[in-house]
Structure 1
Amino acid sequence: MTARVDFGRSMLVVRSRVLATRVGVRTVLVCAVLVAAAVAVAVLALGTGDYPIPPVRVLRALFLGDERFDRLVVWDWRLPRILLALVFGAALGVSGAILQTVTRNPLGSPDIVGFNTGAYTGALVVILALGGGQFRTALGALIGGLGAAVVIWLLAFRHNVTGFRLIIVGIGVSAMLASVNTWLILRADLHAAMSAAAWGAGSLNGLSWPQVGPALAILAVLTIMLIPLARQLPVLELGDELASSFGVGLGRSRLLLIAVSVAFTAVVTAIAGPIAFIALAAPQLGRRLARTPTTGLFPAAAMGALLLVASDWIAQRAFAPTTLPVGVVTVSIGGLYLAYLLVAEARRN
């Protein structure tokens, strides 16, 4: 593989036998800064808690392991949660970037459209009807999210109707599923209702190494599946007519990309519950920082990782020793961002 930087056009050109792509130098720098910030917050989070550890000792515990107790606290107790926060944030950012590109709308997000709500419905059915269990709850959430996506797809894309209808239909389906979820919780006994409500808040509490391996493996497979599809995203954002003129099959491309987007969200939701607004905010914030004409996957992933790991650190320390679900923090921050986005879109239109 060879890489060439064209400073006149501010582009980094990467070529190999199987890959040829161009990335803006500003995009590379923004992604590097976001990743560095996410790693810095992660190191800070690894060192904070009931047993505080300075950053230098955190790094020593990670790479040298000469202090046994520090290594126990960092590796066994805290690192799985922080690692999943970084990976899940990146996955949600990528999921939102895909859906926003397909719909050509900054409101195109799995939590706005209703995929998260469908996953919550599937998990509720398992928790309240089958008694829960981590594996069964995760499977129910996965089935619920995919089922909601299928229903929304069938309702939204009749007669080849495009992305805006997907958002409107998704909001409607999400509202109906939210009503079903409320009805299910109200009919449940107190203990089951509290368990379901806690899961529905979206939390990284209690996650450990047994969840890390399967999550990383599934997300790695999804990333490999996304690579050949990613080159169609900038073309789709140009509009249906131009995309068709470039030979892109609109129906098939949208279906595959939405399926991958739902899968990224479903994996996160199945393990950590529905974490709202990361998929909505990360792609647009990354795009604004990188100043790219299209919604890039790399800035969205880097911004998503930073947002989630920072939100999780705030959730742990804001009311210490009480630990909040990370979804409470993301909803609080995301609500402000959504209000700003709606006002900005209204002014632009």
Structure 2
Amino acid sequence: MNAVSAEKAPLTAAEGLARLRRRRRTRFGTVCLTLLLVVLATLTVSLCTGDIALPVGDVWATLLGGGDAGTRFVVMELRLPRALLALLVGCCFGLSGAVFQSLLRNPLASPDVIGVSSGAAAAAVLASLVLGVSGLGLSATALAGALLAGAGIYLLAWRRGVNGQRLVLIGVGVGTGLTSIVSYLMTRSEVTEAQSAFVWLAGSLNGRSWPHLWPLVGAAAVLLPLTFAVSRTLPALQLGDGTAAGLGSRVERDRLALLACGTALAGVATAAAGPVGFVAFVSAPVARRLLPGHGAALLPAALTGAALVGLADIVAQHALPGTQLPVGIVTSVIGAPYLLWLLARANRVGQGG
């Protein structure tokens, strides 16, 4: 009788909180593992499909050091660098968007909406069409443009601190101005040059190889751990400046560090593949819907972005026989309807952000 009564005894507050934390950790781990498996499946499909279809077993045997010479060439030289680049670009964009949206508490605050990607695009087009820069120099110019645009937006939004809504509005304005510069340069250039620039502006992984991948790997190896380390201050900042300061956070320093990491992530991703639209915008909301109540969900957002760009690149390569589309066209087909839905929903509930 006593054992039965003990089993039915209500939980204490501490026990209930511990059980809730265990459930949250279990759900978080399950979602991250599932997303990781989706990323690995996307990588496998990307390596198996193409003009020469390869069995899954042959692909993984090649990745593990086996396989014949022909399979090694197709997998290791032609397909693997592009597939890895797609996943890493998506990871950087997804994490960047999650940082911006969580920090500024605004679903519109992603680097491709508030002008960071536009800064990279304007710098790259200027360097390519006017100065004739190409290759790694073009990628470095795009990264510099993203960082300069981010710094300019931050300084323009500064009024004894940075308000999230003001930064978003200024970012949209700066982005529009930079886009007009790109349009002007495109209209003044030769047709062949403009066509090449347009492909890059759409966000393209076509023709990418190992030399395009290694700079992004190096940058990501620094920025990804740094962003996760700096994000430890994010929960306090999400409570508001006054509360964060009361909890001991150095609000402006911590906010600037997070914005710098998010801007750099978007910049290196844009430098590697062009301004792939809407990945940063969509990844974080998808991750938060998978993990309601888990705050910023940075790691799931990064994995979601990787899976999204990987899947979009598969569609871009094989949707139209004989034609490889820029991956940014496919991601825009996904992201544009979401943006319209978000704006319509905000209007219905009477919210501007």
- Return the TM-score normalized by structure 2: 0.91
Matches within 5 A, 1:20-39: 24-39=25-40
Structure 1: distance between partners of 2:105 and 2:272: 29
Q: Percent identity?
A: 40
Matches within 5 A, 1:275-294: 275-294=276-295
Q: Report what 1:303 is aligned to.
A: 304
Q: Does 1:11 align with 2:19?
A: no
Q: For 1:80, give the aligned amino acid.
A: P
Q: Report what 2:204 is aligned to.
A: 203
Post-superposition offset of 1:58: 1.6
Query: Would you say the 8 A contact 2:283–2:301 is kept in 1?
Result: yes
Structure 1: distance between partners of 2:162 and 2:65: 57
Unaligned runs of 5+ in 1: 1-5, 13-22
Q: For 2:184, give the aligned amino acid.
A: W
Which string of whole-angstrom CA distances, capped at 9 and with x for unpartnered residues, describes residues 131-151 of structure 1? 121122112111111111111
Q: For 1:60, give the aligned amino acid.
A: A
Q: Report what 1:323 is aligned to.
A: 324
Matches within 5 A, 1:153-172: 153-172=154-173
Structure 1: distance between partners of 2:293 and 2:316: 32
Q: Does 1:61 align with 2:62?
A: yes
Structure 2: distance between partners of 1:177 and 1:290: 36
Matches within 5 A, 1:169-248: 169-248=170-249
- How many residues are aligned here? 334
Structure 1: distance between partners of 2:77 and 2:145: 32
Query: Would you say the 8 A contact 1:142–1:269 is kept in 2?
Result: yes
Structure 2: distance between partners of 1:142 and 1:117: 11
Query: Would you say the 8 A contact 1:61–1:70 is kept in 2?
Result: yes
Aligned-CA RMSD value: 1.5
Which string of whole-angstrom CA distances, capped at 9 and with x for unpartnered residues, describes residues 9-32 of structure 1? 2438xxxxxxxxxx7221111111
Which string of whole-angstrom CA distances, capped at 9 and with x for unpartnered residues, describes residues 62-105 of structure 1? 12423221121111110001011111111111100111112111
Q: Which has the higher strand share?
A: 1
Q: Does 1:88 align with 2:99?
A: no
* SS in structure 1 of the partner of residue 160 of structure 2: helix
Post-superposition offset of 1:344: 2.8
Which string of whole-angstrom CA distances, capped at 9 and with x for unpartnered residues, describes residues 185-217 of structure 1? 111111221121111111111111112222111
Structure 1: distance between partners of 2:255 and 2:297: 17
Matches within 5 A, 1:141-160: 141-160=142-161
Structure 2: distance between partners of 1:53 and 1:345: 47
Post-superposition offset of 1:53: 0.8
- Return the TM-score normalized by structure 1: 0.92
Structure 2: distance between partners of 1:81 and 1:311: 12
Q: Report what 1:261 is aligned to.
A: 262
Pick the structure with greater CA Rg: 2
Q: For 2:22, give the aligned amino acid.
A: M
Q: For 1:268, give the aligned amino acid.
A: A
Q: For 2:104, give the aligned amino acid.
A: T
Unaligned runs of 5+ in 2: 1-16
Q: Report what 2:107 is aligned to.
A: 106
